[in-house]
Structures are given as C-alpha cells and as structure tokens.
Chains A and B, each alone.
Chain A
C-alpha cells in the first residue's frame, strides 16, 4: 500500500517536472513575477512528491518487503537495520532515486536564492532548465531503472547487501559525493541562463561562487572519505588506485576547482569572464560523464554497477545533448560577452589562468586515460597516472606557493620573491637532503614525491603565514589543507614499508622495528556472516606489548562472498596495517603488513580543504545575505 503510493508519487513527479520545464517560460511572457512563483511552487511540490516516494522505498527496505525486486536483490532480514536502510543506495535503482531527490533539493533551495542579484526572468529561465534536466533523469529512471519494479513471486529471503558495502562509511560517503556532483547542476543552469540573456556581471559571479562552493565542499569531503574507506576496507594497502570510479569523482573536482579560481579572478579584476561561464558548463558535464562511466559499467571497476548498454546509451545521449546545446549557446554568445580586461601575467590573474590551463590538462589526461580501455585492447597501469598526472599536479603546487606572494596588481616578481624566499629555501633543502638518501629507490614516482614533499612544505609555511597575517581565511585554509594532503601522500609514497608474513600459532616476525606474534585464530558467528579473527600481538624493540591487532576474514552466507577486515593501529606519526590472508598447505596463515608514515595527513588535509569551502559558504550566510 505505502509502496504503491510511493510509486504513484514518482509517476506524478514525472508529469510535474515536465510542466516545470516549459509552463514558467510561457507565463513569463505575461508576468515574470508570476512565472517565478510558479517555478518555485512547482519545485517545492516536486520535492514533496519525490521525498514521499523516497520514504516509501526506505519503508520497503526497513520492513524487508521482498515483493520489490531491488529489496530482494540487496537486502536480507538478518542484517542490522542500518545496513537494510543504506541498501537503498547500495544499488543502481535506489541510488538513482537518492540522486533525483538530491537534485530536487538543490533546485528548491536555489529557487529561493538570489532575490536581489538576478532578475525574475533570469531566475525563471534557470529554474526551467533545471526542471528539464530533472525530467531527463526521471525519464531515465522510469524507462531503464524503476526502483519500484516488483517480482511476480515474492521470495522469503533476500540476497543481502554486497558485503563490501556493509560498513559505517556507507551511511555518509555516497550521499556526500552525491551532494557534490549533483550540485554542480546549479552553476551549469546559471551559466546557461546568463548566456541566454547575454550578460554576466561581477555580482552574478559572486552568486555563482556560492553555488559552486556548496557542492565543492561536499565533493571534497566525499572524495577524501572514499579514499579513506578504500584504504581500510579493501586491504590492498593503498589509498588511491586510479580506479575508473575514483577518477570519475576526481574529474568534476578538478574542473570545479578551476571554476572557483576563475570566478575569484573575474570578481577582482574583470578578466577570465568567459572562463567562468565555460567552466560552469564543463563542471556539470564532467560530472555527468562520471555518472556515465560509473553506471554504464563500460570500464571494469571495483565499484562498478552491472553492465547495461541501454542505460549507458541513454546517459551518453543525454550528456551529449546537454553538451552540444550548451556549447552551441556558448559559441554564439561568447564573442559578444567577452571581457575587455586582459589577464596580467606577473599578477594573480595570470597565475589563476595558468592554473586553469594545467587543471584542464590534468582533467584531459585523466579522462582519456580512464576511457582508453573502452577503445583499446590494452589497459593502462597505475604508474601511467602517477607519472603523467603527478608532475602536472606538482606544477599546480608550485604556482600555489608563488601565488601566495603576489597580489592582483602587476607585481615585479623577483624583488618580491627575494624577500620571501626563506620558506622556499627550506623546501629546497628538504628536496636536496632526500635526493641524497641512499635508501630511497631511484625511480620517477619517488623523484616526483621528493619534489612534492619539498614544495608542499613550502606552500604550508607560506600559506600559514598568509593566514595569520591577513586575508582570505577560507581560501588559505583550503590551500593549507591541500599542502597537508600532499605531504601525507608524498611521505607515504617515499617511506611506506610493506611485508608478507607466514605465521603459525605462536610464531613471530619482525617488521619496521616491531615484532608481530600470532597469538590465535578464532572462528565466530554473527547473524549474517561467519568470520575468522586472528589476534596479532605487536611488541616494540624493548619487548613491551604496544597493541593487539585483530584482522579478520568474513564469509557472508547469502552471497558466498569473502571480505577481509583490515586491522589498523596508530603508532606515533604512522599507522601499522595488517591484513589476514588464506591458510597455506603448511598450516600457516599468510599476513600482509604495512607501515604507513604520515598517511593520516591525506584525509586531514582533505577535511581541511572541505572546511575551507564550508567557511566560505558561512561567510555568505553571515555577511552577504543578499546573495542567498
């Protein structure tokens, strides 16, 4: 009954969204105020319908209503309530509904924003564009992936949620990513709206900045959380593997970061105006491309949804259509709207434009590398990304450091640098010392990491001084976060240690200055899985016990899937990381151990970047109410 109601609400929203796409534009010919009000009410009504539909689906998952196909395929009565609930977005159809609800939420919030910034007509047009995009997604859902699809026979048992997804991170990682890349639809609609109208003023850019910062903060947090999850869940000992789905989330992050910088430059100097509009379009299009990569399953990935050609084709057509139309509009309007202000090279606007070029180049290499396996026979290894993208990122880092010393007005670079070179010298010293380290393996990846470590220390010091002294707290905090993140990544690359043990009960091995003793391996039973837990005692060089690690392997009955749970413990500035492997013919168990120095800084830095974005958004709430 409740489920049927939810399904009807979903069907109704399809019609309401279609109305929202053109009725406001028709009314606007007579009264722009009326058309805006219609669009606002329409959006709110849509939100009501879709929230209702979402709640009905959540209810079906909570009560394990196995008449629904996706409930049967992704949930099981014996699982804890929280995993039965998050199973809603642990599958393609349900997560698409979450996607659509998030999109509608953004539309409703946006529909009440910008009262004093943009005209009624502009806002109505943007809302109509948003409603059309929403309609496109609803069509996609009802056509190819209806979450309310029922089974002819109701089974007694469900198949359960994919065990890898049975983790607390599942509650917030997917939603925060979705609040990230779905939100970029707002700057897209803004860019189209302003191009349509043929004007884009500095205050419009400020408004666009607010609506880019919100999703950017969520996305930054989501990407960092995803990396942390992969680190402790998948047990391969890394935090980033250039998996297609990881790349799909990084792509819009890079482009939106470029957009934020372009907006900054336009608001202060009037240059890079067209870049703001172009990147506004591109950010959302890359996020759609990411959706296509993830949901069509064209590239084999750990996270991939099942391969489905119809879905892939629809998403590709949808993306191509939006890209074609919006770039056509851009091509027609751009020349007339261009800014007369030049980009000045020895000044911030010049640095920002260089930064944009490099970020776009990185995105290009990343996108091409990710999609290559679709066209070619071969696969690209991780080291392709490490050695192509990391040097470019190094250039970004270097620019970031230099930019701290330069203002918006043309500044002679050398005198300024000479005075403030001290932190850079420190960074260079670190590089020089590391270069002569005998123990370090000499390869391209380590060489890049050495430079990254030196430069990021320099950026950290320079940005911290700038933060204490003066301006742009939010931005400087984000830069500090970025440099801390790079310090974590490069020191882990350089000083990580890795080992394999074969241990029987009572046997021990020494690794990275610690002695590991296998005390016991026990079997336990939980409601929805059975597991084996190894107890590994860790002793320091004095023979004192410092920790007991309990890596485990779980066998989930319903899907017959094995999942290992890593055991991680912090020791001073590093983490010890142990994975339990299979039994060998000698009766021993194999273990994989890692020593990860400073690895926590990666996620700390990611968190700080996101916090910087949040502070900037709060700045709007406090000081610049008129933008809201």
Chain B
C-alpha cells in the first residue's frame, strides 16, 4: 500500500513538472510569435513598434509598382490608407490578386533607416471581391465608408482585364 502511494506520488510529480515545463515553453513561444497589425499611418507615426515583426494592411497605390532588380525578382510599391503611404519592398512571387488598387496584407518589418517596409510574405487572398476585414477597418478609420465603396468598384472594373 505504502509503496503504491509513493509510486503514485512520483508519477504525479513527474507529470506536473512536465506539464508546467511545457506550458512555460508554449507561453514563451506565444510571446515570440505574436504579430500586430498596422495601417500605413500607424507605421509612420510609431515606427519603432513596427520595426520588429508586423503586418501591414492597406491598398496598393495606383501606378506605384516598380521593379528594383530583375535578377533578384525584387519589387517596390506603395501601400496607402488614403491618409499616408508607406514604401514596401518585396522579393519573390506575387499572388494572383496582387494588382494596383487592390487591398493587401504584407508581413515583414519596417526598416527605420531607409523608411521602407521590408515584406517577407504577401498574404494571398483568393477572391477579388473579398477585402481582408482588417484592411477594411484601416480604410474606414481614415476615410469613411463611401470612399471604400468607390474604391471597391474601381478595382472590380480593373480586374476584368
């Protein structure tokens, strides 16, 4: 009887240690992987906050897409919330819906020296009529609903190439 109690105690102790260890690691991991969402205005107002790891949401400005380096597949364009705009640099594949005048969410960091948002990934959305909710909110905040509706129509006109 005594032996079995001791054994149970041991097993419980081991389990509790393992559990708390795991939870500690998960919480650490959680802190490291949180990404906050910024509008262009917010990025320029508080650049230090967006300089580690951030998501940027807004509209790709008409006529702003330029190729920086052909061999490296590097592009530069501007993302706007119709209040301020941020230059974005991106290297790699562009999703289908990457078009001027479309909503976009990019993940990366804001380089304070060059004042450029270095995008690591562009989050692809799969419906031309779909506006990422966060982008919609960002545009709303700075410009009211009407301009958004106007812009949506414009971009839809553009898609039928």
Interface residues of A (CB under 8 A from B): 162, 164, 234-236, 300, 302, 307, 342, 345, 357, 361, 365, 369, 376-381, 383-384, 387-388, 391-392, 500, 502, 553, 555, 557, 559-564, 579, 581-582, 584-586, 590-592
A581/B133 in contact, CB under 8 A:
no
Over the window 57-98 of chain B, the binary record of Cβ atoms lying under 8 Å from chain A Cβ atoms (1 yes, 0 no) is 000000001010010010000000000000000001111111
B37/A300 in contact, CB under 8 A:
no
How many angstroms from the CA of A162 to the CA of B70 in the assembled complex?
Answer: 35
Are A585 and B30 also in contact (CB < 8 A) when A500-B93, A563-B96, A579-B93 are?
A: no
How close is B108's CB to chain A, nearest CB, in angstroms? 12
A590/B93 in contact, CB under 8 A:
yes
B96/A342 in contact, CB under 8 A:
no
A361/B22 in contact, CB under 8 A:
yes
User: Residues of A contacting B29 with CB < 8 Å?
Assistant: 384, 387-388
A560/B160 in contact, CB under 8 A:
yes
A563/B70 in contact, CB under 8 A:
no
Does any Cβ of A come within 8 Å of B9's Cβ? no
How many angstroms from the CA of A563 to the CA of B126 in the assembled complex?
Answer: 7
How close is A528's CB to chain B, nearest CB, in angstroms? 15
B96/A300 in contact, CB under 8 A:
no
Are A378 and B94 also in contact (CB < 8 A) when A234-B126, A387-B29, A502-B73 are?
A: no
B96/A357 in contact, CB under 8 A:
no
Are A559 and B22 also in contact (CB < 8 A) when A378-B37, A380-B33, A582-B94 are?
A: no
A500 is contacted by which of B37, B92, B124, B134 (Cβ under 8 Å)?
A: B92
User: Residues of B contacting A585 with CB < 8 Å?
Assistant: 65, 67
- Give 15 new A-B contacts, CB below 8 A, not counting A379-B55, A502-B73, A555-B160: A300-B132, A345-B7, A357-B19, A378-B35, A384-B32, A388-B26, A388-B29, A392-B22, A557-B160, A561-B126, A562-B128, A563-B96, A563-B126, A586-B67, A590-B94
How close is A366's CB to chain B, nearest CB, in angstroms? 11
A345/B11 in contact, CB under 8 A:
yes
How close is A442's CB to chain B, nearest CB, in angstroms? 17
How many angstroms from the CA of A581 to the CA of B129 in the assembled complex?
Answer: 19
How close is B21's CB to chain A, nearest CB, in angstroms? 11
Interface residues of B (CB under 8 A from A): 4, 7, 11, 15, 19, 22, 25-26, 29-30, 32-37, 55, 65, 67, 70, 73, 92-99, 107, 124, 126-129, 132-134, 156, 159-161
How close is A441's CB to chain B, nearest CB, in angstroms? 15
A–B complex contacts, Cβ < 8 Å, 25 sampled: A162-B127, A164-B126, A164-B127, A234-B124, A361-B22, A369-B30, A377-B37, A378-B34, A381-B35, A384-B29, A384-B32, A388-B25, A392-B22, A500-B93, A555-B159, A557-B160, A559-B128, A562-B97, A562-B128, A563-B126, A582-B98, A584-B67, A586-B67, A590-B73, A590-B94
How many angstroms from the CA of A378 to the CA of B31 in the assembled complex?
Answer: 11
How close is B110's CB to chain A, nearest CB, in angstroms? 16
B26/A365 in contact, CB under 8 A:
yes
How many angstroms from the CA of A552 to the CA of B35 in the assembled complex?
Answer: 33
Top 9 A-B residue pairs of the complex, sorted by shortest distance between their CB atoms: A384-B33, A592-B93, A378-B34, A500-B93, A562-B96, A378-B36, A381-B33, A388-B26, A500-B73
B127/A561 in contact, CB under 8 A:
yes
User: Residues of B contacting A164 with CB < 8 Å?
Assistant: 126-127
How many angstroms from the CA of A39 to the CA of B80 in the assembled complex?
Answer: 62
How close is B133's CB to chain A, nearest CB, in angstroms? 6
How close is B5's CB to chain A, nearest CB, in angstroms? 11
Which of chain A's residues has its CB closest to B125's CB?
Answer: A302
How close is B22's CB to chain A, nearest CB, in angstroms? 7
A379/B35 in contact, CB under 8 A:
yes
How many angstroms from the CA of A384 to the CA of B132 in the assembled complex?
Answer: 22
B96/A560 in contact, CB under 8 A:
no
User: Residues of A contacting B93 with CB < 8 Å?
Assistant: 500, 579, 581, 590-592
B30 is contacted by which of A235, A388, A553 (Cβ under 8 Å)?
A: A388
Which of chain A's residues has its CB closest to B157's CB?
Answer: A560
How close is A206's CB to chain B, nearest CB, in angstroms? 28
How many angstroms from the CA of A582 to the CA of B67 in the assembled complex?
Answer: 14
Are A560 and B37 also in contact (CB < 8 A) when A300-B132, A500-B73 are?
A: no
How many angstroms from the CA of A563 to the CA of B95 in the assembled complex?
Answer: 10
How many angstroms from the CA of A459 to the CA of B2 in the assembled complex?
Answer: 37
User: Residues of A contacting B161 with CB < 8 Å?
Assistant: 555
B156/A380 in contact, CB under 8 A:
no
User: Residues of A contacting B97 with CB < 8 Å?
Assistant: 562
User: Residues of A contacting B11 with CB < 8 Å?
Assistant: 345
User: Residues of A contacting B36 with CB < 8 Å?
Assistant: 377-379
Are A564 and B55 also in contact (CB < 8 A) when A300-B132, A345-B11, A388-B29 are?
A: no
Which of chain A's residues has its CB closest to B95's CB?
Answer: A581
B127/A559 in contact, CB under 8 A:
yes
Q: Of residues A235, A345, A381, A559, which shows the largest number of chain B Cβ atoms within 10 Å of its Cβ?
A: A381
How close is B128's CB to chain A, nearest CB, in angstroms? 5
Are A561 and B67 also in contact (CB < 8 A) when A381-B33, A582-B99, A590-B94 are?
A: no
B96/A582 in contact, CB under 8 A:
yes
How many angstroms from the CA of A269 to the CA of B92 in the assembled complex?
Answer: 57
User: Residues of A contacting B65 with CB < 8 Å?
Assistant: 585
How many angstroms from the CA of A391 to the CA of B23 in the assembled complex?
Answer: 12
How many angstroms from the CA of A590 to the CA of B96 in the assembled complex?
Answer: 10
B94/A581 in contact, CB under 8 A:
yes
How close is A503's CB to chain B, nearest CB, in angstroms? 11
B67/A581 in contact, CB under 8 A:
no
Are A302 and B126 also in contact (CB < 8 A) when A357-B15, A378-B34, A502-B73 are?
A: yes
How close is A489's CB to chain B, nearest CB, in angstroms? 19
User: Residues of B contacting A555 with CB < 8 Å?
Assistant: 159-161
How close is B161's CB to chain A, nearest CB, in angstroms? 8
How close is A564's CB to chain B, nearest CB, in angstroms? 5
B132/A502 in contact, CB under 8 A:
no
How many angstroms from the CA of A114 to the CA of B53 in the assembled complex?
Answer: 57
How many angstroms from the CA of A365 to the CA of B67 in the assembled complex?
Answer: 42
How many angstroms from the CA of A563 to the CA of B127 in the assembled complex?
Answer: 8
